[in-house]
Amino acid sequence: MDKNIKNKAEELIKDLIQKIDNNPYDAQAYYNLGVTLNDAHSAEQAEELFEKALNIFANSKEKSSLMHYGLGNVYYTNSMYDKAIVEFKKVQSEKLKQDSMLMMAQAYYAQENYPQAMMYALTVSENTKHNVDAISLLASCFMATGDLTNARKYYLKALEYDKDNVEVLFQLGVIELSLSGEAGKYFDRVKNLDNEYYKKMQQRLADVQRFLMTQKKGKSDE
């Protein structure tokens, strides 16, 4: 971690601890401290804090939901997806329910359980307007299962609500390499919007092109 970022994180942690000392029932301060600890690569401390907070706020649906959501994110960011899903399922707050379902979808996607990921992503996309994250995750599920037509459909839908989303644009370019060969317009937009991102994704692009060439060769040999 960069030294300046580390120093800022340490200062923020001290401030949040002081805030909790001043008011031991400040749920938002507990949540913010847990998030900051996790971001500072202190996942075990974050986990312990959220578990402690769950005992403190056990009688409050809203506050305990916030702690379950925070703990779920600690597990998710540390690739403990089964534990993350358990926590997200415990969120009862209406304010956090859609966010929790989206996180469950992402956790299932990370586990390559695409049917479950699709189910939750679709539910969130239907319950919340213009949710680009849910729509693009749904597209990614279709893409992962080889359904490029539906993947394109949902990426294009996501693009309607976020026309400069470089991740969506890049994925559309990858899809068009397979479906139409007309990928240039998407890759050109990615380069214009974020050339560093485009450079970072060059290996992915090379892998896709290599795969497509192998497929074409296989068909010509039949």
Question: Do residues 154 and 173 share a domain?
Answer: no
Q: How many CB atoms lie within 10 A of CB 127?
A: 12
Question: Do residues 84 and 7 share a domain?
Answer: yes
Please tell me the total count of domains within the chain.
3
What CATH number did the domain enclosing 114 receive?
A: 1.25.40.10
Question: Do residues 142 and 157 share a domain?
Answer: yes
Question: Do residues 117 and 79 share a domain?
Answer: no
Range of the domain at 123: 101-162
Question: Do residues 85 and 133 share a domain?
Answer: no
pLDDT per residue over 85-126, tens digit each? 999 999 999 999 999 999 999 999 999 999 999 999 999 999
Q: How far is CA 148 from the centre of its chain?
A: 21
* Rounded distance between C-alpha atoms, residue 163 and residue 189, angstroms: 10
- What integer best gives the mean pLDDT of the chain? 92
Question: Do residues 152 and 195 share a domain?
Answer: no
Q: Is the Cα torsion angle 21, 23, 24, 27 positive or negative in sign?
A: negative
Q: Which letter does DSSP use for residue 128 in this model?
A: S
Question: Do residues 113 and 152 share a domain?
Answer: yes
Question: Do residues 137 and 180 share a domain?
Answer: no
Which of 75, 92, 109 represents a domain boundary (last residue)? Answer: 92
Question: Do residues 58 and 113 share a domain?
Answer: no
pLDDT per residue over 34-46, tens digit each? 999 999 999 999 9
* Rounded distance between C-alpha atoms, residue 193 and residue 127, angstroms: 30
Cα–Cα separations (whole angstroms), residue 166 to 156, 184, 209 = 12, 14, 19
Question: Do residues 24 and 82 share a domain?
Answer: yes
Which of 50, 66, 92 represents a domain boundary (last residue)? Answer: 92
CB burial of 11-20 (b: ≥16 within 10 Å; e: otherwise) equals ebbeebeebb
Structure confidence at residue 178 as a pLDDT band (50, 70, 90): confident
Question: Do residues 147 and 171 share a domain?
Answer: no
pLDDT per residue over 7-34, tens digit each? 788 888 999 999 999 999 999 999 999 9
Instruction: Answer whether 120's CB lies under 8 Å from 84's CB.
Output: no
pTM flag (> 0.75): yes
Question: Do residues 120 and 130 share a domain?
Answer: yes
